[in-house]
Structure 1
């Protein structure tokens, strides 16, 4: 197996440290070593020191958790956004396989941790009546259950879709918010709730697009 290029590994280290900092949990050098399975702690140290030299991190001497982002250094009263992973796309219309490949990150202000949230790109027009349009990003809280009336991301067999959940006499129904699309009534063994949609993001300018790493 070919080795990962040093620049790519360093970028991954930066993304990891940055997300930990946004969560208020700055990592130690040894935690970075374990996160990336480096054989030696010195390898983690070298990547972190290189990021300091590049100006992407700052270091507080004498502190085990002394790495910080330069733009947040000394700033008080700021709200800590979470860097939420964008996991491919989801169809709002005909069912489409949800791609699990990482497609970037988006900052979200939330009381939930990054591990509880994910984002998906919407394709299709079945949810336009709920204000969810093609190319929107839906921010989703991971949960296996939801209430009737919630907008959810559901996995039907191997395909994912975003719909409004209705439960009638114990039967799950996935309703579109567009009269041109049909209600989906899967069997209880075919359907699994992946999460509840808690926010919708729409970008009008390229400058506002999600973070790419």
Structure 2
């Protein structure tokens, strides 16, 4: 940040940065704001954020997101003006308790634009990816996949399936009456199951990656 930049102009840029990150479901920490705009002290970034709260452009919000305090959020009017939005629960993992149990232990909520969705009533959830089994499909560790909840899918779809006591993200295939959960990485073996041993939780419809 240039020392000659007027405070109001700096604050506007901070607001735009906060707005974009919050709408993406990836709220920055105050220290990230400090680093992004070159403040020498974290208190300077904090002061700008508090002024945005005073102006009604941000609101204080308690709670945790990715294990850290969110601190700030957009007022409902700002979220609504960005377009019709649904909110999908962000799940760190899904175990044998199933989807509903995992939603109760969600990490946070991820905004999803409804534009282009086939139904405003469809049920969505988001899942943080673990491991490297889907790198060939462009899905990397710590990516977030947006999933449409559905009990079945077509061959070739990327799905979230519950196998044993854990969920996995794989490409759905079939072979001689068996369900094949195919990794997109040659270092991993496919998972071959009887249909009754595999529960499809949903189809992946979007992949998100946050940089920095």
TM-score (norm 2): 0.56
- The 1:88/1:115 distance shift into structure 2, 3 A limit, reads farther
Deviation, structure 1 residue 71: 2.9
Gaps of 5+ in 2: 1-55, 60-74
2:84 and 2:139 map into 1 onto residues whose CA distance is 26
Q: 1:80 aligns with which of 81, 84, 87?
A: 84
Deviation, structure 1 residue 183: 0.6
**What aligned pairs does 1:41-120 form with structure 2 within 5 A after superposition?**
69-71=76-78, 78-89=82-93, 100=102, 101-110=105-114, 111=117, 112-113=119-120, 116-120=123-127
Could you tell me which residue of structure 1 aligns to residue 161 of structure 2? 154
For the 8 Å contact 1:130–1:177, the answer to whether it is kept is yes
Q: Does 1:177 align with 2:181?
A: no
Q: Does 1:192 align with 2:202?
A: no
2:133 and 2:113 map into 1 onto residues whose CA distance is 27
Deviation, structure 1 residue 72: 6.0
For the 8 Å contact 1:165–1:173, the answer to whether it is kept is yes
Could you tell me which residue of structure 2 aligns to residue 25 of structure 1? none
TM-score (norm 1): 0.56
1:89 and 1:79 map into 2 onto residues whose CA distance is 29
Deviation, structure 1 residue 84: 1.0
1:186 and 1:122 map into 2 onto residues whose CA distance is 22
Residues 37-95 of structure 1: CA deviation (Å, up to 9, x unaligned): xxxxxxxxxxxxxxxxxx66xxxxxxxxxxx934368x5xx52121111022369xxxx
For the 8 Å contact 1:90–1:122, the answer to whether it is kept is no
Range moving further from structure 2, 111-120 or 139-148:
111-120
For the 8 Å contact 1:146–1:196, the answer to whether it is kept is yes
More helix by share: 2
Q: CA RMSD in A?
A: 3.1
1:87 and 1:160 map into 2 onto residues whose CA distance is 11
1:69 and 1:181 map into 2 onto residues whose CA distance is 44
Could you tell me which residue of structure 2 aligns to residue 133 of structure 1? 140
For the 8 Å contact 1:88–1:120, the answer to whether it is kept is yes
1:90 and 1:72 map into 2 onto residues whose CA distance is 28
